[in-house]
């Protein structure tokens, strides 16, 4: 198989993440409408930045992921995406 051709396993992963991101978008849209997130936030990028470290920690080195770790991942991302308050 050529390396520039998509592999079936990649397509499964892409479909999974497209579905997962689509399921979370309404939550992010409600947060924007409440003023908790900037209206310019890229929802898919936000989800990736929160889930990425968690996913890697579990499936990479196999670290335990506790509530404090998840909270820290969310805090790091949200502190950079909160709307400016004057």
Instruction: Kindly indicate the confidence band of residue 16, based on its pLDDT and cuts at 50, 70 and 90.
Output: confident
| pTM of the predicted model as reported, rounded to 2 decimal places | 0.66
Long-range CB pairs of 47-53 (<8 Å, 24+ gap) are 47/20, 47/21, 49/77, 50/74, 50/77
The least confident of 26-30, 52-56, 72-76, 77-81 is 77-81
Sequence spans of domains, the chain: 8-79
Output the pLDDT for position 39.
Answer: 92
User: Under CATH, what is the fold of the domain 8-79?
Assistant: Tetracycline Repressor; domain 2 (1.10.357)
Instruction: Kindly indicate the confidence band of residue 3, based on its pLDDT and cuts at 50, 70 and 90.
Output: low
3-state class (DSSP) for residue 65: coil
């Amino acid at each position: 198989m050529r390396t520039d051709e998509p592999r079936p396993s990649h397509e499964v992963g892409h479909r999974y993440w497209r579905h997962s991101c689509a399921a979370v978008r309404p939550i992010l849209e409600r947060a924007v409408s409440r003023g908790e997130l900037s209206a310019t936030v890229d929802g898919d990028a936000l989800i990736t930045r929160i889930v990425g470290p968690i996913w890697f920690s579990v499936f990479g080195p196999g670290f335990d992921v506790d509530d404090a770790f998840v909270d820290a991942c969310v805090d790091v991302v949200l502190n950079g995406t909160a709307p400016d308050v004057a």
